[in-house]
A = this chain, B = another copy of it.
């Protein structure tokens, strides 16, 4: 606290990232990182960019990366925005496209950063409760609004809404933005990128942190109508024009170019997720059907916070949210087969 702070600083309740514990031999299943490394071609591309050329500014327009992403999704470069993490991309979206006279709508349970952005940018919002079973019913989003945003698949539940449902929402909601945060979409079949040509008010965000195993590189993107992308460019160029460094540009491009590696590793994560869900159910857990690279699970008799702490003592870190609707659940990121075996064995011991 200081008299030199601008008013806004006093009002902020910053986001709390999942912890990055410095423990030897830790099994880290708390921040939805990919257990497999990035494509070797990404590492090679970064290596090729890691030289005296670092003395020069990167391309502020990220032309080559935008072209690569556009090609990948069968869009034009004018449909693509890139930023330093999808958190940053979302921040620009909240400020540039979701601040209006009417309230922004999003679920009471979704990516917990959304209310933080609203607070930072002074955006009025209304949280619409998920159904009792944590499903998102888009019929609940019928009122007049200044925009709608949710993660699909949703976090931390892993549950997804089908693209047909989102198309119906877009048909009903033509006068304000609909932003679909597809951070986890590559572990599912629910992407709405295919709807972009039909809806000028649809914006899709994605990240390279999860499915592309590049949480350490900080690259996110938004896809949408050129007018929407233009708003984000204007914000970015009033904030920091060179958002992505030369190494991130090179690595991100290589990631989209190595589709085989991407698909194989995503499939591995999906297979492990399905096996883990089955095994957790056999241990008595209720497991929400997940379309993401994590599962959200609750045990009928063992307290989630107790399990969380017992696992941590054994060097296995998962995520626990101490909020009224989430406090009975653990969010468990999908690790390697061997990491999940260790988790399952430990849970079996703890529940015996």
Stretch in A4-12, A149-157, A301-309, A338-346 touching the partner: A4-12
Give the shortest distance, in Å, between A116 (CB) and chain B (any CB): 5
Contact yes or no, B60 A96, CB < 8 A: no
Q: Which of A11-60 contact B (CB under 8 A)?
A: 12-15, 17-18, 20, 28, 31, 33-38, 42-43, 46-47, 49-60
Contact yes or no, B216 A57, CB < 8 A: yes
Contact yes or no, A17 B60, CB < 8 A: yes
Partner of A215, one of B57, B120, B227: B57
Q: Is A183 an interface residue (CB 8 A)?
A: no
Contact yes or no, B5 A231, CB < 8 A: yes
Partner of A85, one of B176, B233, B242: B242
Partner of A177, one of B4, B7, B51, B52: B4
Partner of A216, one of B31, B54, B84, B95: B54
Q: Is A247 an interface residue (CB 8 A)?
A: yes
Q: Is A161 an interface residue (CB 8 A)?
A: no
Q: Is A100 an interface residue (CB 8 A)?
A: yes
Contact yes or no, A20 B57, CB < 8 A: yes
Q: Is A217 an interface residue (CB 8 A)?
A: yes
For chain A, the count of residues having a C-beta within 8 Å of the partner chain is: 87
Contact yes or no, A50 B46, CB < 8 A: yes
How far is A36 from B54 in the complex, measured between Cα atoms in Å? 10
Give the shortest distance, in Å, between A77 (CB) and chain B (any CB): 16
How far is A200 from B59 in the complex, measured between Cα atoms in Å? 37
Q: Is A1 an interface residue (CB 8 A)?
A: yes
Residues of B within 8 A of A88 (CB): 239-240
Contact yes or no, A99 B242, CB < 8 A: no
Q: Is A256 an interface residue (CB 8 A)?
A: no
Chain B residue nearest to A121 in the complex (CB): B6
How far is A239 from B243 in the complex, measured between Cα atoms in Å? 14
Give the shortest distance, in Å, between A86 (CB) and chain B (any CB): 9
A contacts, CB < 8 Å to B: 1-2, 4-9, 12-15, 17-18, 20, 28, 31, 33-38, 42-43, 46-47, 49-60, 84-85, 87-88, 91, 95-100, 116-117, 119-120, 176-177, 200-201, 209, 213-218, 225, 227-228, 230-231, 233-248, 251
Listed by A's residue number, 20 A-B pairs whose Cβ atoms lie within 8 Å are A5-B227, A6-B100, A14-B237, A17-B237, A20-B59, A35-B55, A37-B54, A46-B50, A50-B247, A54-B213, A54-B214, A55-B213, A56-B215, A57-B216, A84-B240, A84-B245, A87-B241, A87-B242, A91-B239, A247-B247
